[in-house]
Amino acid sequence: MPSNEVLMYIMGGSVLVLIAIVIAYVLINKALNKGDRKYVRELRQGTKTNKFSSEVLYQKLYMIYIKVPGIKRYLLKLRRRLEIINIQDEYQTRRQASSILTKALIIIVPLTILIIALAHSNTLLLGILIIFEIFIIETVIDGMVSKLDNKLLKEQIEFFSEIRHAYHEYNMVEEAIYQVSQNDELEVSRQGEKIYEILISDDPEEELEKYYDIAPNSYLKEFAGISYLTREFGDRKTEAGASLYLKNLNNITQEMQIEILKRDKLDYVFQSLSVIAIVPILFIEALKNWAISNFSFTSSFYEGKVGLIIQMLIIVLTFTCFLLIRKVKDTTSDTNAKNTQNPWQSKLYKIPIVKKFVNLFIPKKGTKPYKNLTKLMKDAASKDKMEWIYINKICLTVIVFIASMFFMDRIHKTAIDYIYTNPTTDYNLISMSEQEEEDAMELTEIDNVFLDMFKGQQNVTVDQIALRVRYSEYYEEASEEEIQTAAERIYTKLQTVNSEYIKWFEVLIALVFALCGYMVPTWLLYFQKILRQLEMEDEVMQYQTIIVMLMKIERVNVEMILEWLERYAKIFKEPISKCVNNYESGAWEALEELKNDISYQPLITIVESLQAAVEKIPIREAFDELDTEREYYQEKRKASNEKLISRKGMIGKGIGFAPMVVLFVGYLIVPLVAIGLMSMTSSFSEMTTMM
C-alpha cells in the first residue's frame, strides 16, 4: 500500500503542475496581447497567405541543396556569379541560385532516366554517359546564368536612357543615378545604388577600384568611371553644345547595343549545336540494336572488338566536340566570376609531395620552353597559373593511361564474350529463324565446353581437340568429317580466346594516348589563342570608344588612358599592364616597349598616337580622327562582328556535326556496306564451290 500511496501523490502533483503551467500561459498570453506583441501579430496576420509561394519554396530548396555534397559544388559556383549581379542581396542571390539549379535538375533527371533506358544493357556506355551528364549540367547552368547577364545588359540600356532624363532635370550625376536606381524590380538598380554609394563616399577613388573588381560587365565599369570623372572635374559642352557626359553615356549605350546584337546572333547560331553534338552518344546503343535486329550479319561487327573501338571513338569525339563548342561560343564571356583564387589545382599543389613532383615537370624560369608557354598563356588570355596547367597535364596523363588500359582489357573481354555467346553459324544476309538460332546457340554451348577444357593451353593441336570431340557425348554418332570440322572450328575459337590478353604494343599505345592527354591543356591554349585572334579587332575598337570618351575630359592624361585600357583589356592585358607599371620610369620608353610587345597594327597605331600625346600634342588632337570618323568606326565594328560571328559559326558547325556524321557514316553505313559485301562474296564463293 505505501507504494500505491506514493504513486498517487506523484500523479496528483503532476496534475497540479500541469494546471499551473496552463494558468501561467494564459496570463502571460493576455499580457502580451495588450502590448507590442499584439500589434506585431496583427501585422503578421495581414501578410499571411494560403497560396503557394515560389519565393519561399526556392529559399527552402536552397537550404536543402547546400547540404547535398554533389549539388553543393554547383550551388556555390552559381553563387559566385550571381553575387556579382545581386550586390549585397542575399535573399535574391539564394532565390536565383535555387531557381536555376532546380530548373537544371528538372532537365537532368529525365535525361538520366532516358540514358538508363537506352543504355542499360551496356554498362561501360552507361557509366560514360552518366559522367558526361556533369558537362551537360554545367552547360545548362551556364546558359541560364548567361540569360541573367543578357537581361542585365538590356536593362542597362533603359537605365542609361532614364539617367539622361534625370540628368537634364537635376544636372547632378549622383542625384540622377540615385533617382533612377529607386526601381527595385530591376537588377541594374542594385548596381546603380552601389555606384551612387561610391560617388558620395569619403574616398570614391578607392571604392571605385574595388567596384571594378566585381562589376558584372565592362559597360558598368565605364559608366561608373565616367560618372566619377564628371562629378570630380565637372561636365563640359561639346562643339555642338551638348553635354559631354551625356554624349559619353550615348557612346556606352551604342557599345552595349552592338554587344547585345552580337550575343543574340551567337546564341542563335549556337543554340542547337551543343544538342546536336550530344545526341549521337545517346543513340549509339539504340542504333546498334536496330542494325543487329534487321541485319543479323552485322552482329560480328557491333558485338566484337571493332564495334567497341568505334563506339569509344564516337564517345571521345563527342566529349571533345562538346567542350570545343563551349570554348568557341564563350570566349567573350566575363571571367570575373570564375574561381581563380583557390581552385582544386591550387589545393593539390599545396601538398608538399605533390608540389615537389609537379615542379619536376615545370620548365625552369628563363628557359625557352618557359618563355614559350608563358607567351602562349598570354596570347590565350588564360587566367590559370603555370603550376595549375602542369597539374592538369599530369592528372590527364594518369587518367588517360588508366582509362586506356581499362579499355584495352575491355576489348579483349568483349572478344572472348563474343566467342562464348555468338550463335555459331556462317554470315547470312537473311535473318535466321527461331529454330535456326536455337540450333546455332546449342552448337555454341557445345563448343564452349571444349573451349573451357583447353582454355589457357597454348600448344593444343587440332588432333588433340578432335580426339576429345570424338569420344564426347555430343558427337557419339557423328561422322569423321563432322568431327574434323568441329575440331577445326573449336581450334579457331580457342586461338582467339588464348590470344586475347594485353600485349606489350597495347601498353605502348596506352602510353601514346597518355602523352596525348599530357598535351591536351597545351592544345586547348593554342585553340583559345586562335579564337582570341578572331576577337582582337573587336577589343581594339572598344579601346577606341574608351579613348573617345576620355579625350575631352579635363585633366585626363596618357597614363590615365592606359589605366582605363588595362582595366578593360582581355587579349592585350599583359603588355598594357607592363606598360602601366613601367610608365613612371619613362613614358616614351614604356610605350615603345608596348609597341614592341604587340604585333596587331591597329593597336600599334593607338600606341603611336599616345606617344605623340606624351610630348608633342594634346590628347584631343592626337585622337581627333576617332571623334570625327566615329560613324565609320561604328559601321566597321558591326562588320567586324558579322565576320566574327560567321567564322565562329563555321567552326562551331564543323565541330558540332562531326559526331553525328561519324555515327551514321562510320558506325552504320560503312559497316552495313562492308560486311554486306563480304557476306555476299563469301556466299558466292560457297555456291561456286558447291557447283
Q: What is the pLDDT of residue 536?
A: 80
Sign of the alpha-carbon torsion through 648, 649, 651, 655: positive
| Angle at 568 (CA atoms; ends 566, 572), nearest 5 degrees | 60
Q: CA-CA distance, 38 to 43, in Å (whole number)?
A: 9
Q: Last residue of a domain, which of 596, 622, 648?
A: 622
Name the residue with cell 556533369: 134
Q: CA-CA distance, 673 to 669, in Å (whole number)?
A: 6
Question: In 422-503, where does DSSP find H-type helix?
Answer: 434-454, 462-470, 480-499
Q: pTM score > 0.75 for this model?
A: no
CA dihedral 473, 475, 478, 479 (to 10 degrees): -120
Q: What is the pLDDT of residue 637?
A: 74
Is 649 inside any structural domain?
no
Grid cell at residue 558? 596618357
Q: CA-CA distance, 225 to 536, in Å (whole number)?
A: 24
Q: Is the pLDDT of residue 515 over 90?
A: yes
278-287 per-position pLDDT tens digit: 778 777 877 8
124-152: average pLDDT: 76
Sign of the alpha-carbon torsion through 670, 672, 675, 678: negative
Q: CA-CA distance, 667 to 307, in Å (whole number)?
A: 8
Is 573 inside any structural domain?
yes
Cβ neighbour number for residue 1 with a 10 Å cutoff: 5
Cβ neighbour number for residue 260 with a 10 Å cutoff: 15
Q: Is the pLDDT of residue 490 over 80?
A: yes
Q: Is the pLDDT of residue 408 over 90?
A: no
Is 340 inside any structural domain?
no
Q: Last residue of a domain, which of 567, 589, 622?
A: 622
Q: Is the pLDDT of residue 336 over 90?
A: no
Q: What are phi and psi of 243, to 5 degrees?
A: -70, 130
Q: What is the pLDDT of residue 398?
A: 93
Q: Is the pLDDT of residue 608 over 60?
A: yes
Is 12 inside any structural domain?
no
- Contact between residue 141 and residue 78 where contact means Cβ atoms under 8 Å apart: yes
Q: State the average pLDDT for the chain.
A: 79
Q: What is the pLDDT of residue 44?
A: 47
Q: What is the pLDDT of residue 415?
A: 82
Q: Report, in angstroms and rounded to the nearest whole number, the Rg of the chain calculated over CA atoms.
A: 36
Q: Is the pLDDT of residue 683 over 70?
A: no
651-682 per-position pLDDT tens digit: 888 888 888 888 888 888 888 887 777 767 76
Q: What is the pLDDT of residue 508?
A: 93
- Contact between residue 73 and residue 134 where contact means Cβ atoms under 8 Å apart: no
Q: What pLDDT band is residue 27 in, cutting at 50, 70 and 90?
A: low
Is 402 inside any structural domain?
no
Higher-pLDDT residue of 643, 684: 643
How many independent structural domains does the chain possess? 2
Q: What is the pLDDT of residue 335?
A: 43
392-415: average pLDDT: 89
250-307 per-position pLDDT tens digit: 888 888 888 888 888 888 888 778 778 877 877 787 788 888 888 777 777 887 788 8
Is 412 inside any structural domain?
no
Grid cell at residue 627? 571623334
Q: What pLDDT band is residue 399 in, cutting at 50, 70 and 90?
A: very high
> For residue 613, what are the domain limits?
552-622
Q: Last residue of a domain, which of 270, 298, 328?
A: 270
Q: What is the pLDDT of residue 331?
A: 47
Is 416 inside any structural domain?
no
Name the residue with cell 588433340: 464
Percent of the chain with pLDDT over 90: 3
Q: What is the pLDDT of residue 139?
A: 75
User: Residue 586 to residues 494, 615, 634: CA-CA distances in angstroms?
Assistant: 81, 12, 34
Q: What pLDDT band is residue 690 in, cutting at 50, 70 and 90?
A: low
Largest alpha-carbon pair distance within the chain? Answer: 117
31-58: average pLDDT: 54
Q: What are phi and psi of 497, to 5 degrees?
A: -65, -45
β-bridge partners, 278: none
Is 507 inside any structural domain?
no
Residue type, 327: K
Nearest CA to 214 out of 319, 112, 92, 86 is that of: 86
